Each structure stands twice: as structure tokens, then as C-alpha cells.
Amino acid sequence: MNTPRAHTLRLLLGDQLNPQHSWFATRDDGVVYVLMEVRQETDYVLHHAQKILAIFAAMRDLARHLRDAGHRVRYVAIDDASNRQSIPDNLAALMAHYGAERLQYQHPDEWRLDAQLRTWGALQAFDVQAVSSEHFYTTRT
């Protein structure tokens, strides 16, 4: 089975689950929304198991909501055989899988993730764009 190509992947992190984000106003079959459960995020510091489960449940719920609204969604579960357990490694594989030309992500709230995605994105041959998460009253600057 061939996977239909996509021109853009849009990454949604576990603290960016706003169904009112402007990304979702228009359905585009060339866009795939990517949510992933990765050990990179569960293991970098000690987290309470209930917190991790709550975040995963919320991510799965948004993925279902987006699918129900007609959006394309790729959800990478923690135990998915293709899961590389790293956001950049999963993104690189998914960009190749879909033949996408552009990756968009919402500005992470955590400096650690912001630096990781910015540094990794600058090294890619495809276009990488960061956009507002739209969940603050003021702009990032």
C-alpha cells in the first residue's frame, strides 16, 4: 500500500493541544498533523506516571478530533514499531515517508525543545518553519 504524499507535516507537542488553533480552520489533504509519544519526552526527567498517561490521553483525543474533522493525522504511539523514541529522528523518517517538502511546528514552551527543534531544523534540506502556538495573550517577542 502506497502512502499518499503530503507537502507539509505539522508537529503538535503534548502541551499544544488547542483544537482552536488557526491551523485547523482549513482542511488540506496535503497536510499531515503529527503527534508522537516518545521516550525522549517521558524520560528526560522523572515524571509521575499519571501525568504521562494524561498527556497521552489528551494527545490521542485531539488526534481523534482532528480525524473526525477530516484532517490527516499520523499518531506515533509509544509502542509503535516505527517509533525511534526521538522527535527529530521520527520527524526525519516521517518527512521521507510522506515525501513532504515542509515541516511546521508551533513554538515549544520549553527552551530545551525549542533549541533542539531550531538546531535540528537549520540542518535540514527541507523547509522548516516555526509558528505561534496561539495560546498566549502576547507574541513571543
| Strand (E) or helix (H) holding 54 | helix 49-68
Global confidence as pTM: 0.93
Q: What are 92-105's pLDDT values in tens digits?
A: 999 999 999 999 99
Q: How far apart are CA 133 and CA 84, in angstroms?
A: 25
Q: Are 106 and 12 in contact (CB under 8 A)?
A: yes
Q: Are 104 and 131 in contact (CB under 8 A)?
A: yes
Beta bridge partners of 11: 34, 105
Distances (CA, A) of 113 to 3, 69, 74, 118: 29, 29, 20, 8
Q: What are 10-55's pLDDT values in tens digits?
A: 999 998 999 999 999 999 999 999 999 997 665 665 667 888 889 9
